[in-house]
Chain A
Amino acid sequence: MKHSILIFLIFMFASSAYTQTKISGTVNNKKGVPVFAANVYLKSNPAKGYITDFDGKFVLNIENREDTLVVSFIGFKTRKIALPAIDLNKSIVVVLEKSEQTLDEIVVTAQDPVSEQFSVTKMTMLKDVYLNPVSQGDPLKAISILPASTTINETANPSLRGSSADRTRVVLNGVPIYKPVRASQLNNQGFFSLFNPEIISKQYVYASNPPLTYGNTSAGLVEIQTIKKLEKNQLLLSASLASTGFFLSQKVKKDISFIQVYGNYQFSDAFTSIQKKNLPNLKNFNTTDAGINFRSKISKHIEFNSFNYYISEQFQGVNEQFTYKGDVLSDKKRFFTVNNLVFYFKNALLSVNSEINKSVQHINFGNIYSEQKTTQVYTSVDYKWHIIESTNMQFGLSHDFQQNKFNDSIPLYYYALSPNSPNYFSKSMISNKQLEVYLYTNWDINSKLPFSSGMRSNIPFKNQHYYHSSQLGLKYRLNHKQSILLSTGKYYNYSLPTYYSKVYNLLSSYQVALDYSSEYKNIILNAAIYYKNETGEQALKTFFTSNKISTFGIELYVEQQFLKYFKYSFSNSFINQKMVIEQKHYPGFKNFDYLIKSTIQYNNSSLFSVALSYLTHPGTFYNKVTGSYIENQTSFYKPVFSKNLYTAQYGNYKRLDLSVSKFVPMNKNSMVIFVSLNNILNTKNEKQVQYNADYSIKHFDYHQFRTVYFGVIWRLTYSQGLSSLKEKTRKNI
C-alpha cells in the first residue's frame, strides 16, 4: 500500500513537472516601451516560439518546467531566463537592453562634441569643402558661404554674425589655434587658413553662443576635428600656377596607427608674371609649410593624436597709408604642436590636451618696423560622462598662457610714415594667463527636445577680473527634417595683442539667437534672427576705440538641387549694427542692409563641374578727411578728420567668381584639373581710402582685381586600406 502511494506521488510529481502550462508577460525596452515583434521561445525548441504583439505581450506554452525562456530582438541583447526562476502564476516583464556597441563605435560617438546638437552647421570635407564653390579647398574659407559668415575682407579668418574675427575662435582637437590664417596674402586671393582639409574629419560652426566647453570666445566658434580613421593609403601630388606640394596618408599598423605627412611650396613668379597689371600691390611671395598628423591606439582604451605644423612665409608688396606709398616686407615663421591623449571608459571619456605654439614675425613699412615673438602654451583636461541614455555631462579645466614680445619702431607722428620720418623704438613684453573651469550638460528632455546648459568661470591671477560665462540652449525638432534652436548666454574672451594694441583686453558679449533649419527633398532652408551686445574695449581703424557694439541680424539661406546636375544657393543677411565711441552711436563696420551670397553649380562627375558665385554688400563706413595743415616739425601735412565720425562710406562691394574643375578617374587613382577666375567682372571694390600729399585729392586702394589660377591634383591610391570593420567582417568570413 505504502509503495502504491509512493508510486502514485512520484507519478503525480513527475507528471506535474511535465504538464503543459503557460507563461505570459510583456517585453519592454529599458525605457519601458513595449517591444513589438520580439521572439519569445524556449531554448529546447526555438521553432515553437511566439512573437510579441504591439503591446509587447506574449503567451507561451511550457512543456518542460526546467527549460529556459529566450527573448530576442534585432538590436537588443538576447535575454535567457531559467523557467524555475519564474513564478508562472504571474505575468512577467522582460526588459531588453540594447546590444553593446563595438569599441570603434563608442570611440567615434564619444568623440563627437557633447554640444553637437547645438551647432548651427556641421561640415564634411567632401560635400562642404571640396565641392563648395567659394572655399578654394580651404576649410575655413568654406564657412564664408554661410549666411552667418560676415567675413568681408577676402580672408579665411572667420567673422561670425557681425563680430570681429578676434572674438571668434577656431579650435583644433580641443585646443584654440589663434590667428589661424597665413600671414601673407598669397595668390592675391586673400588669406588662406593653416588647415589642410585632408587631415580633417568634421568641422562644426557655432555661429552664436559657442559651447562653454571652450573658453576665450565671445562671438562664435569653429570646432575642427582631425580624422580618426584612415580609410586608404594614398599620395596626393599637386601643382599649380603658384604652388607645388604632396600629401601622404599611410597606415603604420593596421587599425592601430596611421600618419599623414604633407608639405607645400608656394611661389609667385609665374602667378605674378602673367597678370602683373591686375596685381599692382604684389611683388613676390614664397611660403613653405609642412605638417604631420599621427594617430595611434596605445591600448584598447587609450588613443593618442599628435598634429604638428610649421610654416615659413615671406612677402613683398606695396602698401599705402596716409600719404606714404612704399614697399611692405613681411616674414613669419610659426610652429605649433597639438597633442591629445584620450582614455575611454564604459560610459565616459577623459581627454588630456596640450598645445605649444611659437612664432616670430617681422614687418617693415616706411619708418615702421615690427618684430613680434609669440609663445603660447595651452593645456586642458576634459571629462565627458554619459550619465544615462538621455543625459551627457562634460566638465573640465583649461590653462592658457600667452606671451608676446614686441620690438618695434613706432612713428612719432601717426601720419608721417616715410622711412625718413621720425620714429622711436620700443621694447615690450606682455603676457596673460587664463585658468578656467567649466561644466556643460546636455539633456534630451525627450527625443524632440534636447536642452543644454553651460557655465564657465575663471580663477583670476593677480589683477585679473573674475568673470563667469553661462548659457542655455533649447532645440525643438518639429520632425526629422525641421528644427528650431533657441540659445542665449553671456561670454568672455581676451583680445589678442597687435602692433597697434599691445594689451589683452577683456571683452564680453550677451547673445540671444533663434535658428531654424529644414531640409525637404532637395531644398535646404535655414533662417535665423539674433541679437548681441558686445562690450569691452576694441581697437578700431584710425585710432578710435569702441567699448560697446550692438548687433541685430536676420538671416535667410536657401539651397536647391534641380535638373539632376544643378544646384543653386542664395543667402541674405540684414545686419543692424551700432557701435559706441565716446558715448556716441555710429554705424558699425558690419552694418548691412543686405549681404547677399549666391552660387550656382553644375556638377557632373563624368563631364566637369562649374560654379559661379556672387557676393555683394554695401561698403563699410570710414572717417572722412575734411582738410589738412602743414605740421612744422615733420614738414608733413596733418589730416583733419570730420567731427562726425564714420559718415563716409565705401562703394558697394561686388564680386563674381568662376571655378571649373574636371575629375578624371584613372582606375583606382584620379586626377582633378581646376581653373578659377576671381572677380571676373574686374570690379573695383574699394578697400582703403588714400590721399595725395596735402589730402586735397582722394583715391582708393582696391580689393583684388581679376585673377586667374589653375592647377592639377593627382590622387594615387597605392594600396586599398581596410577599416577595422572590414577586418572584423573579413575575419568573420
Chain B
Amino acid sequence: MMRIFIISLLLVSCIGNTNPKANTHVLSYQTQIKHVKQDTLLANIQSKIYNAFVQSLMSKNDTALLKLSLDLEKLHKTHKQNLISYWRSYLQFYLSIYYLKYGDKKAAEKEIDKGTEWMDALENKNSEDYALLSMLQGFRIQFKRMRAMFIANDMKENAKTALSLDTSNIRAYYVYASNDFHTPAKYGGGKEAEQYLLKAISLPTQKVKNEYLPSWGKEEAYELLVKLYIKKESWELAKKYFQDGIKQFPDSYLLNKLASQLVGK
C-alpha cells in the first residue's frame, strides 16, 4: 500500500521512470569465486536508489537519499567511472522528485541540474548514458521555461543518439517515446510514441543480466502505452497491453492505477 502511495507521488511530478525492479531473475553469483573483490555499494544500485527514495518519502526526510548520494560521491572520488556518474545522476532524478513533492522547487531544480550536468559532462557516453541524459533533460524542462526550446531539442537529439548507438536499448526507445508523448501536438508531438513503445516492450531490460547496470524502462513503457491508448480511446488495445503488462509486473502501481479507467470499456 505504501508502495502504491509512494509511486503515486512520482506520477504527480514526473514523466520519467519510476520502477526500480528489473524484470530479471537474480544471477547465481554465489557460484562465483569469492576472492575477486566485488563492490557492494554498486551491486543492485538501481534498487538501492529506489529504496532510499521510498524511505525518504515515508519519513519525509531526505537523509536516506543524501546518504546514498554521499556514498556514491565518495566512491566516485576514488574510482572515476562513468557508471558511477550514471547512478549518481539517476539518484539526482529521484532527489529532485522528492523535493518537488514537498514543494521545494528550487532544490528540485538544483538537484536535476546537477544530475544533467554530470551526465552531459561524461566523455565517451554510451547508449545508456544518452538515454538517461535525455530523460533527465525531459524532467528538467519544467524548471527552464526560457530554455525549454533548446532543452527539448537536446533531449530529442540525445534520445536519437542513444538509439543510434544501440538499436536494442529498451530505455532509449522508452525515452524517445516519452519525449514524443509529452510534446504537444501543436509542436509536432504524439506521432511516434506508439511504435517506439511497442518496440520497447518487446525488448529485454538487459541483454545479459548485470546487477550494476540499469534495468528500468519496461514497466514504464507498458504504463505509457496504456495511457496512450486510453488517450486515443482505443480501449481494446489499452486493455490488451494493460493485461500483458500486469502479467509481468503484477505489483505495478503505474499500471494498477490505470485499471479504473479501463473498467466498463
A residues adjacent to B (C-beta < 8 A): 22, 24, 36-37, 39, 41, 46-51, 53-54, 57-61, 72, 74-75, 98-99, 102, 104-105, 126-127, 447, 479-481, 521, 561, 564-567, 603-605, 665-668, 717, 720, 723, 725-726, 728-730, 732-733
Are B146 and A60 closer than 8 Å at their CB atoms?
no
Are B186 and A521 closer than 8 Å at their CB atoms?
no
30 sample A-B contacts, Cβ–Cβ < 8 Å, listed by A number: A37-B81, A39-B208, A39-B210, A41-B208, A47-B25, A47-B28, A50-B36, A51-B38, A53-B36, A53-B37, A53-B39, A54-B79, A57-B36, A59-B32, A72-B207, A72-B208, A74-B128, A75-B166, A99-B165, A105-B164, A126-B149, A561-B146, A564-B144, A665-B186, A720-B188, A725-B164, A728-B164, A730-B195, A732-B168, A733-B195
**Chain B at the A interface: SS class:** loop
Chain A nearest Cβ from B71, distance in angstroms: 15
Chain A residues, Cβ within 8 Å of B148: 605
Say whether, besides A54-B39, A59-B32, A102-B164, A564 and B146 are in contact (CB < 8 Å): yes
Chain B residues, Cβ within 8 Å of A732: 167-168, 199
Chain A nearest Cβ from B111, distance in angstroms: 13
| A55 (CB) vs chain B CBs: closest residue | B37
Say whether, besides A127-B150, A447-B123, A37 and B185 are in contact (CB < 8 Å): no
| A38 (CB) vs chain B CBs: closest residue | B210
With beta carbons under 8 angstroms apart, the residue of A74, A102, A447, A733 that contacts B196 is A733
Are A728 and B36 closer than 8 Å at their CB atoms?
no
Contact of B77 with A by CB under 8 A: no
Are B149 and A605 closer than 8 Å at their CB atoms?
yes
Contact of B240 with A by CB under 8 A: no
Contact of B209 with A by CB under 8 A: yes
Say whether, besides A127-B150, A603-B146, A22 and B83 are in contact (CB < 8 Å): no
Contact of B31 with A by CB under 8 A: yes
A-contact bits for B26-54, CB 8 A (1 contact / 0 none)? 01110111011111001000000000000
Chain B residues bordering chain A, tally (CB within 8 A): 58
Are A51 and B186 closer than 8 Å at their CB atoms?
no
Are B198 and A666 closer than 8 Å at their CB atoms?
no
With beta carbons under 8 angstroms apart, the residue of A36, A75, A480, A605 that contacts B79 is A36
Are B210 and A58 closer than 8 Å at their CB atoms?
no
Chain B residues, Cβ within 8 Å of A39: 208, 210
**Alpha-carbon distance between A720 and B183 when the two chains are bound, in angstroms:** 15
- Which of A60, A126, A723, A733 lies at the interface centre, i.e. has the most chain B CB atoms within 10 A of its CB? A733
Are B198 and A733 closer than 8 Å at their CB atoms?
yes
Contact of B265 with A by CB under 8 A: no
Chain A residues, Cβ within 8 Å of B63: none
With beta carbons under 8 angstroms apart, the residue of A48, A74, A126, A481 that contacts B27 is A48
Chain A nearest Cβ from B188, distance in angstroms: 5
Say whether, besides A54-B81, A732-B167, A74 and B213 are in contact (CB < 8 Å): yes
Say whether, besides A127-B150, A717-B188, A47 and B33 are in contact (CB < 8 Å): no
Contact of B113 with A by CB under 8 A: yes
Say whether, besides A102-B164, A605-B148, A74 and B127 are in contact (CB < 8 Å): yes
Chain B residues, Cβ within 8 Å of A666: 186
| B189 (CB) vs chain A CBs: closest residue | A668
With beta carbons under 8 angstroms apart, the residue of A51, A57, A104, A725 that contacts B212 is A51
| A666 (CB) vs chain B CBs: closest residue | B186
Chain B residues, Cβ within 8 Å of A61: 31-33
Chain A residues, Cβ within 8 Å of B121: 479-481
Chain A residues, Cβ within 8 Å of B32: 50, 59-61
Chain A nearest Cβ from B233, distance in angstroms: 20
With beta carbons under 8 angstroms apart, the residue of A57, A98, A565 that contacts B146 is A565
Instruction: Sort A-B residue pairs by CB-CB distance and give the 4 closest, nearest first.
Output: A75-B126, A480-B121, A37-B212, A564-B145
Contact of B211 with A by CB under 8 A: yes
Chain B residues, Cβ within 8 Å of A730: 195
Chain B residues, Cβ within 8 Å of A57: 36
Contact of B160 with A by CB under 8 A: yes
